[in-house]
Homo-oligomer: A and B are copies of this chain.
């Protein structure tokens, strides 16, 4: 049916050209939707492409265009729900925009590991990087390696030239804190995340701001590692004093661990201790009791990440993308007025 072809090799743009009776450049134009192509020509070329199952070679394209159309994601704890959802959303959004995504996981958070991961990304000539990791350290390494691709984080680092997405995590944390205060709690404890995660720092800041604004005295937060296990052990420790009536955990997993510890101590939630989480992972509604938490729209986050990053790559004004995402408080059974 079709004309003979060199076998053992994927068809190239010139194979298509020959069979369609046009020049290779015309085929290229068809592929790139160049405006001045006669419809009949275009149809003929497309038909040959179809027949040959031709696919443009990405490497060749990247080489001659000088652009990889790839962005890198630097991720830590990528199997946790929050990061994982953002990554998925980032991939979807990138694909939508015709970009490819490559993820490098941090095996640990030390400098060497970060360096290795960044290196891996740079080797693929990524055009930009999304950081979902302990950002402060990552940036140090970025600078140290004098790497100069645009990057995006999920929250401002306060550094100059940082292209950050504004999720108003401070606001989210204030919502959670305010909820507890409104219920009548005055002794509220905060289990924070690792402080080199900007998100963790922002949530803690929000907590402290709201407590300050409402004139409630605070104690120093504990810094956790995002895991339920840590929440459990921190909870056990805290319960030895029991000088609080509510705990605000900076993510849902740690909140789950705390709930475990509270039950172990024979106490009731929310009568003896109210608990608020952050993220609203899909499981949170099924905890016992269902967890009051702050919902983040991870998918929207991912989309905006890509919009901002691609915008930056294209040289647009980053401020165009600065509109903050406002998280939402979801009240469930884990919070109530203090018993006294």
* Residues of chain A at the chain B interface (Cβ within 8 Å): 53, 55-63, 68, 78-81, 84-85, 87-88, 91-92, 95, 100-105, 107, 120, 122-125, 146, 227-229, 231-232, 253, 256-257, 259-260, 263, 282-283, 285-288, 290, 298
Chain B residues closer than 8 Å to A56, beta-carbon distance: 123
Chain B residues closer than 8 Å to A87, beta-carbon distance: 78-79
Q: Of B68, B103, B256, B286, which one neighbours A103 at CB under 8 angstroms?
A: B103
In the assembled complex, the CB of A340 is this many whole angstroms from the nearest CB of chain B, namely: 25
Lowest 5 A-B CB distances belong to which pairs? A59-B62, A260-B286, A79-B84, A59-B63, A79-B85
Contact B123 A55 (CB under 8 A): yes
Q: Given A62-B59, A68-B59, A102-B100 in contact, is the A53-B286 Cβ separation under 8 Å?
A: no
Contact B103 A232 (CB under 8 A): no
Chain B residues closer than 8 Å to A53, beta-carbon distance: 146
Tell me the number of copies of this protein: 2
Of the A-B pairs whose beta carbons lie under 8 Å apart in the complex, a sample of 6, sorted by A's number, is: A57-B125, A59-B62, A60-B63, A63-B63, A259-B286, A283-B283
Contact B124 A100 (CB under 8 A): yes
Chain B residues closer than 8 Å to A88, beta-carbon distance: 78-79, 105
Contact B68 A91 (CB under 8 A): no
Q: Looking across the interface, which residue of chain B has its beta carbon closest to that of A60?
A: B63
Chain B residues closer than 8 Å to A60, beta-carbon distance: 59, 63
In the assembled complex, the CB of A250 is this many whole angstroms from the nearest CB of chain B, namely: 16
